[in-house]
Amino acid sequence: MTFKLLTLRVRQDQGEQFIKDLRAARPAGFRGLPVIDTTPCATGCDACVTACPTAAITAAPLALDLGACVFCGECARVCPAHKIAMTTEVAMASSARAELVVHEGPARRPPIDVAAAIRKAFGRSLKLRQVSAGGCNACELELNALANVNFDAQRHGIEWVASPRHADGLVLTGPLTKNMQDAVQLAWDAMPDPKFLVAVGACAISGGLYRDAPGLARDFLAKVGPLVFVPGCPPHPLTVAQALLDVMGR
Amino acid sequence: MHTVAIADVPELEVRAWRNWVKAELLQGSRPVILYGTRTSETRVALTMVLQRGDGGLDLIRTSVDPTTGYFALSEVAIAMHAFERELHEQFALRLTAHPWLKPLRYEGGTQADMARYPYYKLEGKEVHEVAVGPIHAGVIEPGAFRFMCHGETVHHLEIQLGYQHRGVEALLGRGDPRRHTPLVETIAGDTSVAHAWAHCAALEALAGVALPSEGEIARALMLELERIAMHLAGLTGLAADIGFLQGAATYGRLRTTAINTSMRLCGSRFGRGAIRPGGAGVGLDDGARDAVRDACALLRDHLVAIDALFLEARSVAHRLRGVGRVNRAMATQLGLVGFAARASGVDLDQRRPARGAYAAVPLARTLETTGDCWARARLRITEIAASLGWIEAALAHLAPMPADLAIGALAPATIAIAIAEGWRGEVVHVLETDAAGGLARHKVQDPSLRNWLGLAIAVRDNEISDFPICNKSFDLSYCGHDL
């Protein structure tokens, strides 16, 4: 009896915790997409460039590479002209590496442009195999969160699968360690065509904080170009969800 | 927190050092860390850190020629095995009679080396081996497991790690340590706060800067939120692995509440940016305090029901009780730390004896005795409650953070050791400066390094099908181990 009551109570507590619209949600307080306004920089000022832990910022004209950014917000904090601001925007993935660079001016959503054939093949059901190659478990936890009751990506046909044999896409996290290079290649080779690669997080996209680390071998990424780049450190599950929905054309 | 001038650390000739450490270990002193610092082409300084019962640390150093090395201490205290394997790998240090001198993380190794891991062999007609990994059937980090079985029973499990080795310590050794916190936050991404706190505390100690109490409490708040979130993540996984889906769904949903509270406070669901040298990036206005209070109230309210359901369900008890047992003597012998040690009755928690924030706001003691998967799960449930209690009491002490303190020149020729009790266990950062005050060594230790062997021992004589729940019950970090 007690047990049944408890079950009932838990069900009642579930309430409506799921996010109804994964595209409209805005996480409160999230340090997301940076924007750079058009105020001119003070002559010779390179405060943001030197503050950046991943060399994501280039000066004159100021530009910030989301593919390297770890969203620490140091640049915004040190800028004397308050030229850089971190917004709560989560949509920032792109199918073109170059489009991840934020320039001066109003926030612009990087495009996700994939072939019609991909949308035709995977638009209703997308099975993904995740492989971490030096990922710190932050990206991995956020990707797992995609399948929890809050984000519930399964409602859109997106699912994590155990075997690469069952996967349409390989979702790679981490800066790609030397010690994982064989395993990553094996997983990729085991996936049936058609297939694609998604690079999730600053580490996977550019090496991020580990770009100069001795333990990396990133040849695989150069060989197999990702279809989509999902920036973040780690990316918010909404950033990933929106990128995948764009790939699927949903 | 311990700071000492290198000149004041007792230094013995290597054999005397070895005998001294051996005697201490045999008398029950607890090893915290043993690490090496290259001092010249042919010499490596070894620093042994032991912890007394009152929480104080004792250091003792020696200088050794790696080609002659010394007689392994692991031979008398198995808790030393990982330290000595690391020394062997990092400095080619010769360790005579080490019982388990296997590769630790293939630092500087190749894939071909990894294929030659010297697994133990179990032989016999009905013996079989099961190899799993490095890629596992879930969204998790990689590592290789090899089970030596007789039928369904695991006689021995060997855990081969190193796949996640990025070269963290090499990066930490370069550049300005004041700017390393973003990197430190990714040593083990699920333990961002504990690593950042230990790193910043060590730096602050070297710079002679003391954080005001509101700063300490803000850091502890982030650490306890991290603990709650990761204990909930662990319970989610454990519930999923035993097919208790209501638990998996509910704990998973409640983790969102915990990490979104972190995000409300510092902009990141993982507490990144919350702790920086000399300060904290935690917004603690009235709105933030209300958000923390509301989150605690919701978590308490909803956890009461799901915890009761989890602990009363016969299916849960049946799967977890008596499985993956590590008794207290074994836990002590292996040198387990954190909640895995406390689940086996080892009363070890770096938040006690209370110092700093935990002296200002007391924390309830948590301990289990049975050392099985059930104990580890139950302990995580009680630790969530204890952390919630701490946060609720700390709310009264929370104040907006003062401006960041400047971290000036670092004390020369000094060692600073900072230990933070992360959700998994003690996170250790050791910073050594040279005669000019430059960084000479930044040694990092994640609790996972100490606990992986605990998992291997826990699985012995269990059914292979219970491995996933044993693994989840320890919930160890691969990248934290592999660095």
B186 CB contacts (<8 Å, ≥6 apart)? Answer: A136, A138, A203, A209, A233, B192
Parallel, antiparallel or unpaired: strands B439-445 and B426-433: antiparallel
CB of A150 less than 8 A from some CB of B: yes
User: How far is the first Cα of chain A from the last one, in angstroms, to the nearest whole number?
Assistant: 45
**Mean pLDDT in residue range B172-190:** 95
Domain count, chain A: 2
Q: Are residues B156 and B216 in the same domain?
A: no
Cα–Cα distances in Å, from B293 out to B128, B240, B252, B380? 54, 29, 20, 21
Q: Is the CB of residue A201 less than 8 Å away from at least one CB of chain B?
A: no
Q: How confident is the model at residue B482 (pLDDT cuts 50, 70, 90)?
A: very high
For chain B, give percent helix, strand, coil, nearest 5.
45, 15, 35
User: Is there a contact between B431 and B464 (Cβ–Cβ < 8 Å)?
Assistant: no
Averaged confidence pLDDT in chain B: 94
Give the domain extent around A144.
116-248
Together in a domain, B198 and B134? no
Give CA separation, B348 vs B52, B144, B254, B386, B456, in Å. 11, 29, 27, 16, 21
> What integer is the mean pLDDT of B81-95?
95
| Shortest Cα–Cα distance, B246 to chain A (Å) | 8
Q: Are residues A89 and A209 in the same domain?
A: no
Q: Are residues A82 and A137 in the same domain?
A: no
The tally of domains found in chain B comes to: 3
Residue B109: the pLDDT is 77
The verdict on A210 touching B (C-beta cutoff 8 Å) is: yes
CA distance A9 to chain B (A): 7
Same domain, A46 and A136: no
Tell me, yes or no, whether B478 lies in a domain: no
* Residue B342 CB neighbours (<10 A): 26
Does residue A39 sit within a domain? yes
CATH of the domain at B20: 3.30.720
Within this chain, do residues A70 and A134 fall inside the same structural domain, yes or no?
no
**Please, are residues A102 and A66 in contact by the beta-carbon 8 Å criterion?**
yes
Q: Same domain for A91 and A162?
A: no
Strands laid side by side in the B2-5 sheet? B2-5, B414-421, B426-433, B439-445
Whether B108 is covered by a domain: the verdict is no
Q: Cis bond leading into A234, ω under 30°?
A: yes
Domain-located, residue A183: yes
Give the residue from B106, B114, B139 with the most A CB atoms within 10 Å of its CB, the best one to mutate.
B139
- A210 with A238, same domain? yes
Asked if residue A14 belongs to a domain, the reply is: no
ipTM of the complex: 0.95
If you measure CA to CA, which chain A residue comes closest to B162?
Answer: A179
Do A99 and A120 reside in the same domain of the chain? no
Q: For residue A222, how many C-alpha atoms fall within 13 Å in the half-sphere facing its CB?
A: 5
Q: In degrees to the nearest 10, what's the CA dihedral of B257, B258, B264, B266?
A: -160
Name the residue of chain B whose CA is nearest to A9's CA.
B305
| B310-327: average pLDDT | 95
pLDDT mean values, one per 10 residues, chain A (250 residues): 70 75 91 93 90 93 95 94 94 94 88 88 94 97 94 94 95 96 95 96 97 95 95 97 93
> Could B139 and A14 be called an inter-chain contact, meaning their C-beta atoms sit closer than 8 Å?
no
| Alpha carbons B305 and A247: distance in angstroms, whole number | 40
Helices and strands (H, E) in chain A, number of each type: 9, 10
Residues A72, A121 within the same domain: no
List the CATH number of the domain containing A185.
3.40.50.12280
- pLDDT tens-digit profile of B264-318? 999 999 999 999 999 877 878 888 899 999 999 999 999 999 999 999 999 999 9
The reply to whether B57 and B15 lie within a common domain is: yes
Q: Stretch B413-418: mean pLDDT, rounded?
A: 96
Per the CB < 8 A criterion, the answer to whether B456 and B159 are in contact is yes
Q: How many CB pairs under 8 A join A and B?
A: 189
Task: Give A-chain residues touching B477 at CB under 8 angstroms.
Answer: 137
- Assign residue A46 the CATH number of its domain: 3.30.70.3270
User: Is A19 part of any domain?
Assistant: no
Chain B closest-CA separation from residue A231 CA (Å): 14
What confidence score (pLDDT) does residue A115 get? 87
* pLDDT digits 0-9 by tens, B457-479: 999 999 999 999 999 999 999 99
Please state, in angstroms and rounded to a whole number, the distance separating the CA atoms of residues B61 and A187.
46
Residue A120 and residue A91 share a domain: no
- Residue A134 and residue B186: Cβ atoms within 8 Å? no
Are A73 and A38 in the same domain? yes
- Give the residue from chain B lying closest to A26, CA to CA: B260
The pLDDT score that the predictor gives to residue A102 is 95
How does residue B196 score in pLDDT terms, banded at 50, 70 and 90?
A: very high
Q: How far apart are CA A64 and CA A102, in angstroms?
A: 5
Residue numbers of the domain that contains B150: 114-160
A174–B139 C-beta distance less than 8 A = no
Specify whether A128 is located in the same domain as A244. yes
Residue A97 domain flag: yes
Q: Do B353 and B386 sit in the same domain of this protein?
A: yes
Q: What is the pLDDT of residue B113?
A: 86
Question: Residue B441 — pLDDT band, cuts 50, 70, 90?
Answer: very high
Q: Are residues B72 and B119 in the same domain?
A: no
Q: Are A64 and A89 found together in one domain?
A: yes
Please give, rounded to a whole number of angstroms, the shortest distance from the CA of A155 to a CA of chain B.
Answer: 15
* Distance between CA atoms of residues B64 and B254, nearest Å: 51
Can you read off the two tokens belonging to residue B327?
């008794």
Cα(B405)–Cα(B417) distance, rounded to whole angstroms?
20
Looking at the fold, whether B194 and B327 belong to one and the same domain comes out as yes
Domain with residue B329: its CATH number is 1.10.645.10
**Residue A124 counted as domain residue:** yes
Tell me: do B18 and B67 sit in the same domain.
yes
B364 plus B458 within the same structural domain: yes
Closest-CA distance, A168 to chain B, in angstroms, reads: 15
Q: Which of A12-16, B129-133, B163-167, B371-375 has the lowest mean pLDDT?
A: A12-16
Q: Which of A57, A75, A103 is where one domain is finished?
A: A103
Summarised one tens digit per residue, pLDDT across range B223-254 is 999 999 999 999 999 999 999 999 999 999 99
Contact B75, B97 (CB under 8 A): yes
In terms of domains, do B329 and B389 share one? yes
Partner residues linked to A130 by β-bridges: A171
Collapsed DSSP state (helix, strand, coil) of residue B279? strand
Q: Which residue of A has its CA nearest to B230?
A: A141
Task: Determine contact: A73 vs chain B, CB below 8 A.
Answer: yes
A1-10 own/partner pairs: CB under 8 Å, 24+ apart: A2/B312, A3/B309, A3/B312, A3/B313, A6/B305, A6/B308, A6/B309, A6/B312, A7/B246, A7/B309, A9/B305, A10/B246, A10/B250, A10/B302, A10/B305, A10/B306, A10/B309
